[in-house]
A = this chain, B = another copy of it.
Amino acid sequence: MEKVKPYIDANKDRFLEELFGLIRIPSISSLADRKPDMIKAAEYWRDSILKAGADKAEVIPSDGNPVVYGEKIIDPSLPTVLVYGHYDVMPVDPIELWKSPPFEPEIRDGKIWARGADDDKGQAFMHAKAFETMVQTGNLPCNVKFMIEGEEEIGSPNLAKWCEEHKDMLHADVILVSDTSLIGPDIPSITTGLRGLAYWQVEVTGPNRDLHSGLFGGAVANPINTLAEMITSMVDENNRITIPNFYDDVLEATPAERELLNKAPFSSEAYKKAIDVEALRGEKGYTTTEHTGIRPTFDVCGIWGGYTGEGAKTVLPSKAYAKISCRLVPNQHHEKIAVMFKEHFEKIAPKSVKVNVEYLHGGQAYVCPIDLPAYKAAEKAYMETFGKQPVPMRSGGSIPIISTFEQILGLKTVLMGFGLESDAIHSPNENYPLENFFKGIETISWFYHHFAAINRAKA
C-alpha cells in the first residue's frame, strides 16, 4: 500500500482534468432538454471506468436516463464491492448568484467551483481514481463493480426496476457510496443514517380566471391567501407536523442514541453565523443536531402565483402553486406519507377553492449499523488518512435509493462521504476542496485494503 499515496500525488493534475471533463457536461436531470447531456455524461463515465482498469463497462438503458455499469472481477471467490454514484446534477438557478459559470470548473482558494464539484461528480469520481490507483499499484484485493446512475437528483424513479432486472449482475457484498459530508475538514465522520423524502407539487384554484382585486376582492377566496393558510395549518406552534398519523411510524431514538448523537461537536452560534440568521427554529424538545438528523420536516421548497413582475398589479389570481417536501426518518414509509398528505391537503381545502396534489417523488430513510464489517473497514481507512477515528453521524439529507438497494439487492451501504457543509451543494457556487478530493481517493483505496483484510480474517 506504500505506492498508493505517491501514485495519487503523481497524477493529481490528470485526475482533476478528467473530473473537469465530466463537470463540463451540464447533466441536469430535472430539465427535459438536457437529455443529450445525460447520454454524454454516461458515456464519459463508461470510458473513465474502462480507462481506470475495468474488465468491461457499458451504458445500459433504463426507463429513464441510462445507468453506467462496469466491473473488474479478479477472483469470484473474493468479496465484491459495488460502487454507487450519480452523474446527474441539480439545476443551477439562481444563475446570477454564481461567481463563475456553473459548468466551467475553476480552481480558486484551493477549491473546485462548479455545479457537481461535490454532488456527486467530484465525490463519485474519487471512486474511479481510487480504483485506478489500486489497479495500477497492484493493490486491488477484491472485486469491484460500478453502478453510476443519472436520475438521483430527481429521486431515482427508474433505478429500482433497473436493479430488479440486473440483480444477478449486481451481486456484491456491500455498496460503497460517496455522496455525504464530513462534520468538518479535520473531523472525519461516516454517515450512518439518511432521512427519507416525500415531495409534492400542489395547485390551488380559486376563480376560473384572474379577477380585478377591487371589483371582486373581499367576496371571493384568494387562492394565494388560501394556500398560505393551508401551509400554515400543517405545522403547529411546537413546529410539529399536523397531518394526522404523520408520526405514527417514526422510530423514536432512545435516550442513549440521542446522547451519542449530541456528542458530535456543534456550535449554535457558529451555525447561525454561517447562514446569517439571528435565531434557529425547530421542533420543540429536540436539539439542532436532532432536528436535521432524526426528525421529519415540512418545508415549502417553492411557491408562486399571481403577479410577480415589476411594480404593482391589482389582481385576485386564479391559481397558486407550491412545491412542498417532507424529510422522513427511519420506519416512515414515503408512499404512505404521500397518500396521507394528499388526503389531508384535500380535506383541509375550503369549499371556495379546488386543489390538486401531485406526488413528484420520494424515498425511504436508511440506517447503517456500526458493527457491520464494511463499516469497520471504512473506520480503519479514515484512521489511516485522518489519523483519527471517524464519528458515526446521522445526515439530514436523503439518498432514497440507498434503502431501495437494501430491499432489492439485500445489501447494506457504507456512506464514505468527503464533502463539507460549506460546499454549497444544490446552491449557487457549489465547491469541493482539492484536499478532500485527493484525501477521498486515498481513503477509498485504504477501504479496499481493510475490507479485503477483514473478510480474509473472517474466513
- List B contacts of A360 (CB < 8 A): 311-312
- Whole-angstrom CA separation of A212 from B425 in the bound complex: 7
Instruction: In the complex, identify which listed stretch (A57-65, A122-130, A256-264, A297-305) lies at the interface while the others stay far away.
Output: A297-305
A302 touches B305 (CB 8 A): yes
- Whole-angstrom CA separation of A219 from B30 in the bound complex: 27
- In the complex, whether A388 has a CB less than 8 A from a CB of chain B is no
Dominant secondary structure of chain A at its interface with chain B: loop
Q: Assuming the A-B contacts A304-B308, A311-B360, are A219 and B323 also in contact, with contact meaning beta carbons closer than 8 angstroms in the complex? A: no
- List B contacts of A353 (CB < 8 A): 277
Scan A206-224; emit 1 where CB is below 8 A from any B CB, else 0: 1111111111111111101
B216 touches A281 (CB 8 A): no
- List B contacts of A67 (CB < 8 A): none
- In the complex, whether A53 has a CB less than 8 A from a CB of chain B is no
B228 touches A93 (CB 8 A): no
A303 touches B301 (CB 8 A): no
In the complex, how many residues of chain A place their beta carbon closer than 8 angstroms to a beta carbon of chain B? 101
Scan A93-104; emit 1 where CB is below 8 A from any B CB, else 0: 110010000000
A214 touches B350 (CB 8 A): no
B91 touches A307 (CB 8 A): yes
A313 touches B279 (CB 8 A): no
- In the complex, whether A314 has a CB less than 8 A from a CB of chain B is yes
- In the complex, whether A85 has a CB less than 8 A from a CB of chain B is no
Scan A224-259; emit 1 where CB is below 8 A from any B CB, else 0: 110111011101000000000000000000000000
User: So how many copies of this chain end up in the complex?
Assistant: 2
B397 touches A215 (CB 8 A): yes
B279 touches A222 (CB 8 A): no
- Whole-angstrom CA separation of A277 from B353 in the bound complex: 7
- List B contacts of A82 (CB < 8 A): none
- List B contacts of A323 (CB < 8 A): 306-308, 312-313
- In the complex, whether A87 has a CB less than 8 A from a CB of chain B is no
Cβ-defined partner of A280 (8 Å) among B201, B300, B352, B429: B352
Chain A 160-200 residues near chain B, CB threshold 8 A: 181, 195, 197, 199
Q: Assuming the A-B contacts A304-B304, A325-B314, A426-B313, are A215 and B395 also in contact, with contact meaning beta carbons closer than 8 angstroms in the complex? A: yes
- List B contacts of A302 (CB < 8 A): 224, 305-309, 313, 315, 317
- Whole-angstrom CA separation of A68 from B360 in the bound complex: 54
Cβ-defined partner of A288 (8 Å) among B199, B219, B283, B291: B219
- In the complex, whether A292 has a CB less than 8 A from a CB of chain B is yes
B225 touches A296 (CB 8 A): no
A30 touches B209 (CB 8 A): no
- In the complex, whether A282 has a CB less than 8 A from a CB of chain B is yes
B295 touches A327 (CB 8 A): no
A292 touches B427 (CB 8 A): no
- Whole-angstrom CA separation of A181 from B214 in the bound complex: 12
Determine how close the nearest CB of chain B comes to the CB of A238; give it in whole angstroms.
13
Interface centre among A233, A305, A426 (most CB of B within 10 A): A426
Q: Assuming the A-B contacts A215-B395, A224-B303, are A309 and B30 also in contact, with contact meaning beta carbons closer than 8 angstroms in the complex? A: yes
- In the complex, whether A414 has a CB less than 8 A from a CB of chain B is no
- List B contacts of A217 (CB < 8 A): 292, 297, 299, 325, 327, 396
- Whole-angstrom CA separation of A207 from B282 in the bound complex: 14
Interface centre among A31, A320, A396, A429 (most CB of B within 10 A): A396
A312 touches B210 (CB 8 A): no
- In the complex, whether A116 has a CB less than 8 A from a CB of chain B is no
Determine how close the nearest CB of chain B comes to the CB of A120; give it in whole angstroms.
13
B215 touches A310 (CB 8 A): no
A91 touches B309 (CB 8 A): yes
18 A-B residue contacts at CB 8 Å?
Answer: A30-B313, A32-B310, A207-B276, A208-B276, A210-B427, A214-B327, A216-B275, A217-B327, A218-B282, A218-B295, A218-B297, A219-B281, A219-B396, A277-B353, A278-B351, A299-B316, A307-B323, A314-B426
